[in-house]
Amino acid sequence: MPFTPVDPDRLWVPDNPDGSGWAEVDWACAARGSRYHYRHGEEWEQDNAARPAYYRIMTRLESARLSPHVNSYFVARESLADFLAELSLAGGAEVIWHVEACPEPPPEARVR
Protein backbone atom coordinates (compact mmCIF):
# COMPACT_ATOMS: atom_id res chain seq x y z
CA MET A 1 0.00 0.00 0.00
CA PRO A 2 1.52 3.39 -0.98
CA PHE A 3 2.19 6.01 1.67
CA THR A 4 -0.43 8.75 1.75
CA PRO A 5 0.50 11.92 3.64
CA VAL A 6 -1.93 12.80 6.40
CA ASP A 7 -3.27 16.32 6.72
CA PRO A 8 -1.24 17.66 9.69
CA ASP A 9 -4.17 19.82 10.81
CA ARG A 10 -6.81 17.08 10.77
CA LEU A 11 -6.71 16.78 14.58
CA TRP A 12 -6.70 20.53 15.22
CA VAL A 13 -9.66 22.81 14.93
CA PRO A 14 -8.06 26.19 15.56
CA ASP A 15 -9.89 29.00 17.34
CA ASN A 16 -8.39 31.66 15.08
CA PRO A 17 -7.86 32.04 11.31
CA ASP A 18 -4.06 32.10 11.83
CA GLY A 19 -4.20 28.53 13.16
CA SER A 20 -3.76 29.45 16.83
CA GLY A 21 -6.01 28.84 19.77
CA TRP A 22 -6.42 27.38 23.24
CA ALA A 23 -6.72 23.73 24.28
CA GLU A 24 -7.20 21.92 27.56
CA VAL A 25 -4.16 20.52 29.35
CA ASP A 26 -4.88 16.85 29.96
CA TRP A 27 -1.59 15.75 31.50
CA ALA A 28 -1.80 14.05 34.88
CA CYS A 29 0.19 16.77 36.63
CA ALA A 30 -0.31 20.07 38.42
CA ALA A 31 -1.30 21.74 35.14
CA ARG A 32 -4.37 19.54 34.62
CA GLY A 33 -7.48 21.64 34.11
CA SER A 34 -5.58 24.66 32.81
CA ARG A 35 -5.21 25.55 29.16
CA TYR A 36 -2.28 26.03 26.82
CA HIS A 37 -1.98 28.25 23.76
CA TYR A 38 -0.93 26.74 20.45
CA ARG A 39 0.02 28.17 17.08
CA HIS A 40 1.40 26.88 13.83
CA GLY A 41 5.18 26.95 13.93
CA GLU A 42 7.57 28.20 11.30
CA GLU A 43 10.30 26.04 9.80
CA TRP A 44 12.72 24.67 12.42
CA GLU A 45 15.61 27.00 11.51
CA GLN A 46 13.44 30.12 11.69
CA ASP A 47 11.76 29.24 15.01
CA ASN A 48 15.05 28.06 16.52
CA ALA A 49 16.83 31.29 15.56
CA ALA A 50 14.10 33.31 17.30
CA ARG A 51 14.77 31.61 20.65
CA PRO A 52 17.20 33.10 23.19
CA ALA A 53 20.75 31.89 22.65
CA TYR A 54 21.06 30.70 26.26
CA TYR A 55 18.85 29.75 29.18
CA ARG A 56 19.37 29.82 32.93
CA ILE A 57 17.69 26.90 34.66
CA MET A 58 17.30 27.31 38.38
CA THR A 59 16.74 24.21 40.47
CA ARG A 60 16.03 23.59 44.12
CA LEU A 61 17.78 20.74 45.85
CA GLU A 62 16.40 19.76 49.22
CA SER A 63 16.10 16.54 51.16
CA ALA A 64 16.14 15.20 54.69
CA ARG A 65 19.93 14.87 54.38
CA LEU A 66 20.68 18.16 52.58
CA SER A 67 20.04 21.75 53.47
CA PRO A 68 18.19 23.65 50.71
CA HIS A 69 20.23 24.79 47.72
CA VAL A 70 19.18 26.81 44.70
CA ASN A 71 21.40 25.94 41.74
CA SER A 72 21.74 27.77 38.42
CA TYR A 73 22.64 25.90 35.25
CA PHE A 74 23.33 27.67 31.97
CA VAL A 75 22.65 25.89 28.68
CA ALA A 76 22.66 26.80 25.00
CA ARG A 77 19.26 26.77 23.29
CA GLU A 78 20.10 23.60 21.36
CA SER A 79 20.64 21.76 24.68
CA LEU A 80 17.60 23.02 26.57
CA ALA A 81 15.19 20.16 25.84
CA ASP A 82 17.79 17.46 26.56
CA PHE A 83 18.91 19.17 29.77
CA LEU A 84 15.34 19.51 31.09
CA ALA A 85 14.53 15.91 30.18
CA GLU A 86 17.65 14.61 31.90
CA LEU A 87 17.01 16.69 35.00
CA SER A 88 13.37 15.60 35.12
CA LEU A 89 14.27 11.93 34.82
CA ALA A 90 17.42 11.78 36.93
CA GLY A 91 17.23 14.80 39.22
CA GLY A 92 15.97 12.97 42.29
CA ALA A 93 15.72 15.55 45.07
CA GLU A 94 16.67 18.33 42.64
CA VAL A 95 13.60 19.87 40.98
CA ILE A 96 13.22 22.49 38.27
CA TRP A 97 12.47 25.76 40.03
CA HIS A 98 12.59 28.37 37.26
CA VAL A 99 13.65 28.71 33.60
CA GLU A 100 14.53 32.05 32.03
CA ALA A 101 16.22 33.47 28.98
CA CYS A 102 19.84 34.41 29.54
CA PRO A 103 21.46 36.88 27.12
CA GLU A 104 24.98 35.68 27.93
CA PRO A 105 26.05 33.14 30.54
CA PRO A 106 28.80 34.08 32.96
CA PRO A 107 32.28 33.00 31.82
CA GLU A 108 32.53 30.66 34.81
CA ALA A 109 29.71 28.54 33.34
CA ARG A 110 31.95 27.57 30.39
CA VAL A 111 28.97 27.30 28.02
CA ARG A 112 29.54 27.89 24.33
Torsion angle, alpha carbons of 112, 72, 50, 16, to 10: 160
pLDDT of residue 10: 61
pLDDT tens track for 26-57:
777 767 778 888 888 899 999 999 999 999 99
C-alpha to C-alpha distance for 6 and 72, rounded to whole angstroms: 43
Q: State the amino acid at position 33 in one-letter form.
A: G
pLDDT mean over 81-92: 90
Q: Are 25 and 35 in contact (CB under 8 A)?
A: yes
pLDDT of residue 90: 83
pLDDT tens track for 49-78:
999 999 999 999 988 888 899 999 999 999
pLDDT of residue 99: 97
Domains located in the chain, CATH noted? 1-40 (no CATH), 45-109 (3.10.20)
**What is the residue-averaged pLDDT of the chain?**
86
